[in-house]
Chain A
Amino acid sequence: MKKILEQIRGNKWLQLGLLVGYIALTSLSLILAQRSVAAFLLLLLSFLLLYYTKLPNWSKWAIGLTIMFFILPFSAMQGPAYQEYMDVATLVGIYVSMALGLNIVVGMAGLLDLGFVAFFAVGAYTYGIFATAQASNFMPFGTYPLSGNSFWIFIIIGCFVAALFGVLLGIPVLRVKGDYLAIVTLGFGEIIRIVFNNMDQPVNITNGALGLSSIAPPKIFGIELLYSNQIYFVVLFILLFVIFAVRSLEHSKLGRSWKAVRENEIAAQAMGIPLVKTKLMAFAIGASFSGMMGVVFAAKQAFIDPTSFTMLQSINILVMVLLGGMGSVPGVILGAAVVTILNAQVLNELTMWFNSLSTAGIITLPDAMSPVKMQRFFFGALLILFALYRSKGLIPAKNVVYDKRKFLSEKGTKKRLQSVGAPKEDEHGNTGS
């Protein structure tokens, strides 16, 4: 067994062969057994396997894109559960982008943000207000609702508005550090939600608790994108853009500054990194990804109201980041996918399974314990277990060490190097008591 594994590990052609076989097998089983959620999930799993192969990067991307654009939609298309699968895939795309945004703030810059969903809400409302008749309540010019054609511009507008809010949040909280920051952002998220819930008077801007319904669906070349399989491709394009942006940011000067600030703020400042600008950029860029997806979310749901943007959602996204591995782009993608699928599909399926078992009289599960209701329990347990036993997540972030060889050749610096990798904590606090 070990030998075979070794062999697979060494030989990338073998890996490619196995991978292609796996993809073919799972997509075939999805085509044949349309209702099998397992086949769908296993097909999605091929992305993870792809990540672990030793293939060169370009071919990984090529295979990945092929699966995303052709194999997945095609094999899901053959049966009745098509829209369901595409809906799940769309949700995964939305949450992956948001998690990547939060990853910049929490994972890379080390600023714990517990109110991240606020930016999602900002994006969603930006589109929602103008794509319904709502805007005519306070806008002196223009006719509303805007048509679905405006959706494409609003993706960009949503991005900028959310970034603006990110900076607005960022400026005051720059003075605040660590866990205080977490609390302030949590408060901020709640404030945004409460304000949206109450901005129906004196001027009706958000329509308050009633929410905005019948939001115009996106339109392109005169075609309305109504169904999940159409939105899926929109999400896919944005997602690819986000991944590309994050990837290039990660190794840019800005990305390295974030990590420096995360590891040791004072040292980073001493090395000439502008603290204010670096942190604000983290907030703004993180928020902008979330804002874009907010626009998509509003268009997809056709209805938004403040209950979609609760603190639970913020923590949900945090769970994704932590589960995948803070600071690790592939990890966060995996984490977001796992949590979203768990929420959107697996818990439902399990509940239905248990229900059918109990109607068949095999086991009786009390209603209170149905998996759908246990969401908080699972999340709580996941958070604790991962924090305790795998605090770096499923796919830990790799810290590229520059000029490794040069460092190692000098004996004296070896020790210093080792401590670079480990996360540092601030052990020198002071108490006021």
Chain B
Amino acid sequence: MRKQVMALAMTSTLALGFLGACGNTDSASGGGSSETVKIALQAPMSGGSATLGEAIKNGAAMAVEEEKAAFEKAGFSLELVEYDDQGDPQKGVSNAQIIGSDQDVYGVVAHLNSGVFIPSSEVYERYNIPSVSPASTATDVTDRGLKSVNRIVARDDFQGPAGAEYAVQEIGAKKIFVINDKTAYGQGLATAFAEAAAEEGAEIVGEAGITVGEKDFNGVLNQVSAADPDLVYFGGLYSEGGLLIKQARDNGIDAAFMGGDGMDSSTLVEIAGDTVSNVYLTSVAGDSSATEFAKNYEDEYGAKPESFSIYGYDSAKVLMEGILDAAEENGGKLPAKDKVAAAVRAVDDYEGEMTQVSFDDKGDNEFAKIFIYKFDEASYPAKIQGEISQ
């Protein structure tokens, strides 16, 4: 008796719980006479890099809002669907499966973390869905030669060396200590930096790794103070980076710090406080505060955009440009997805708000730049020092 009741109860709860959920998706696909085009978005909206993920999401959402009219004119209703990859490759891949199996999705603005984008893009490729990354910098993202994968930012093997060049030639660092956070992103960037710095003639006096999520980095910092470098390079994200800088200063290490785009966040300044001075950043993201976008963003969300917001915006725009191009070629009808992927790859000299976009045959943006920033005081964003083109 109890068993049946239990089974019945389970059935009804399951049914009640999800009829609503699916009813919604049903209406989304069936509603309206025009054909639906969905842009999917995947970024970490929870976890340690949620700030950056939300920034990308907000940027992309603005782009989609703006393009709605253009799509309406072409006879499509445009929609943005958001997925949270939690910065976790497994979550990213299973979301990618869901995105891939949704026939209305014609493009993905995806992934902050290269470690998530690499496995997920294998899935997008199977379904021929074009993806444009606003922030993934690892070399492997495009080096695998996938047809659908693009990014509008620079690569690690450009960012790392660009940082190394600046560190050695402009800052004049001779002894460099390299730390990474033992993630795909941090390790890739730190390795690229270390190799280039050694080539530039600097001495790498030590290399060490830290664990993400820890709060006490004094062990590694003791190695740093023993090596007495002119510059410490950290490949990793802002939450660890901020603490590392703070604890280094507390330990009397006054060498300059340098980090990659993962440290480019207002939270870095919040964590490190005043100790953030004499910290350099190489970023694939330029300063967007003077653009029209920044003003609109502030009106919309009541906060200043983070560094990657505008890249989320530009990525989404490039993607939609490609979709419209492909549709036009197809006589105003929705084209096959591999055609869309080809059209996105073929986008040429697109003038974005922040960056000009032309994809090369691997999907890297030919106009991607590296920007060098320096913090002199505890305020975000940092002051721009220069930019390096490819």
A and B in contact, CB less than 8 Å:
yes
Q: Which residues of A contact B (CB under 8 A)?
A: 5, 8-9, 33, 35-39, 41-42, 45, 48-49, 52, 80-84, 87, 91, 197-198, 200, 208-211, 213-214, 226-228, 301-303, 305, 307-308, 344, 346, 348-353, 355-356, 367, 370, 372-373, 394
**Are B81 and A305 in contact, CB atoms less than 8 angstroms apart?**
no
Question: Chain A's nearest CB lies how many Å from the CB of B300?
Answer: 14
CB distance from A39 to the nearest CB of B (A): 8
Interface residues in B1-36 by Cβ distance below 8 A to A read: 1, 3-4, 6-7, 10-11, 14-15, 17-22, 24-26, 28-29
Q: Which B residues are CB-close (under 8 A) to A344?
A: 94
Q: Which of A82, A211, A346 contacts B101 (CB 8 A)?
A: A82
Query: Could you tell me the distance in whole angstroms from the C-beta of B210 to the nearest C-beta in chain A?
Result: 12
Q: In chain B, residues 88-113, which have Cβ atoms closer than 8 Å to a Cβ of chain A?
A: 88-90, 93-95, 97-98, 100-104
Inter-chain contact A48/B7, CB cutoff 8 Å? yes
Q: Report Cα–Cα, A356/B80, bound state, in Å.
A: 11
Partner-contacting stretch, out of B183-191, B310-318, B328-336, B381-389: B183-191
Say which residue of B21, B88, B187 sits within 8 Å of A38 (CB atoms). Answer: B21
Contact status B94-A305, CB under 8 Å: no
A226 touches B126 (CB 8 A): yes
User: Contact: B97 with A84, CB < 8 Å?
Assistant: yes
* CA of A211 to CA of B89, assembled, Å: 10
Instruction: Point out the residues of chain B lying under 8 angstroms from A82, CB to CB.
Output: 101
- On whether A303 and B21 interact (CB within 8 A), knowing A41-B14, A198-B182, A213-B140, the answer reads no
Q: In the complex the two chains form, is B97's CB within 8 Å of A301's CB?
A: no
Asked if A80 contacts B119 (CB within 8 A), the reply is no
Question: Hey, which chain B residues are within 8 Å of A48, CB to CB?
Answer: 7, 10
Contact between A214 and B122 (Cβ–Cβ < 8 Å)? yes
- A103, B114: Cα distance in complex, Å: 36
- A91 CA to B82 CA in the complex, in Å? 22
Residues of B within 8 A of A87 (CB): 94, 97-98, 101
Q: Contacts A87-B94, A87-B97: A38 and B22 contacting too (C-beta < 8 A)?
A: yes
A323 to chain B, nearest CB (A): 12
- State the CA gap A373–B86 with chains docked (Å): 8
Which A-B residue pairs are the 8 nearest by beta carbons? A303-B119, A83-B101, A38-B18, A80-B103, A84-B101, A36-B22, A349-B21, A87-B97
Contact residues of A: prevailing secondary structure = helix
Roughly how many angstroms separate A39 CA and B167 CA in the complex, as a whole number?
Answer: 59
Query: B241 in the interface, Cβ–Cβ < 8 Å?
Result: no
B50 to chain A, nearest CB (A): 9
CA gap between A373 and B28 in the complex, in Å: 24
A33 to B23 CA separation, bound complex (whole angstroms): 10
Known: A38-B14, A45-B14, A353-B21. A210 touches B188 (CB 8 A): yes
5 additional contacts (CB under 8 A) given A211-B184, A307-B115: A35-B29, A84-B101, A208-B187, A305-B184, A350-B17
Once the chains bind, are A209 and B186 in contact (CB under 8 Å)? yes
Nearest CB of A to B149, in Å: 12
Are A303 and B83 in contact (CB-based, < 8 A)?
no
| Chain B residues with CB below 8 A from A45, complex form | 10-11, 14
Cα A222 to Cα B94 in complex, Å, equals 26
Q: Quote the shortest CB–CB distance from A45 to chain B (angstroms).
A: 6
